[in-house]
Amino acid sequence: MANDDNQLGKNIQHLRELYGETLDELGEVIHFARSTVKGYENGSRKPDPHTLNKIAKHYGKTVDELLYMDLTELIATKMEVDSIKDILDLFQKILPLYSSEDAMRNSKFRNGYKFCHQIMDGFAKGETLRGTMITDAFQAFIEAFDELECPEAAANLMWTIFVWWTQIFDVKQMMSLQSEFLSNKLDIKDYLKIKENESDDLKEKKHGFVSDFDEIITEILKKLKSDSKWSDIADYYIALKYVFTMVDSELSPEMNSAVGMQMMLTFAKIGNPHALNFLKTSLST
Q: What is the pLDDT of residues 36-78, one digit of tens each?
A: 999 999 999 999 999 999 998 888 778 888 888 888 876 554 4
At 75 the pLDDT is: 59
Residue-wise burial string across 237-272, b where 16 or more C-beta atoms lie within 10 A, e elsewhere: bbbbbbbbbbbeeebbbbbbbbbbbebbeebbeeeb
DSSP 271: T
Q: What angle do CA 10, 249, 244 make, to 5 degrees?
A: 85
Say what percent of the chain tops pLDDT 90: 48
Q: Across the chain, what does the average pLDDT equal?
A: 81
Q: Which of 193, 191, 187 is nearest to 78 (CA)?
A: 187
Work out the average pLDDT over 149-153: 91
- What is d(CA 279, CA 285) in angstroms, rounded to the nearest whole number? 10
pLDDT band at 91 (very low <50, low <70, confident <90, very high): confident
Length of the chain in terms of residues written: 285
Is a pLDDT exceeding 80 seen at residue 90? no
| HSE toward the beta carbon, residue 171, CA cutoff 13 A | 1
- 87, pLDDT greater than 90: no
CATH superfamily of 7-68: lambda repressor-like DNA-binding domains (1.10.260.40)
For residue 175, pLDDT over 50 is answered with no
Residue 75: count of CB within 10 angstroms of its CB: 10
- Mean pLDDT over 158-165 rounds to 92
pLDDT in tens, 228-263: 999 999 999 999 999 888 998 888 777 888 888 889
pLDDT band at 188 (very low <50, low <70, confident <90, very high): very low
Contacts of 35 (CB under 8 A, 6+ apart): none
Please state the domain extents for the chain. 7-68, 84-284
Residue type, 115: F
When comparing pLDDT for 273 and 129, which is higher?
273
Q: Which of 160-174, 208-222, 249-263 has the highest mean pLDDT?
A: 208-222
**Contact (Cβ atoms closer than 8 angstroms) between residue 263 and residue 238:** yes
Q: Is the pLDDT of residue 114 over 80?
A: yes
DSSP label at residue 199: -
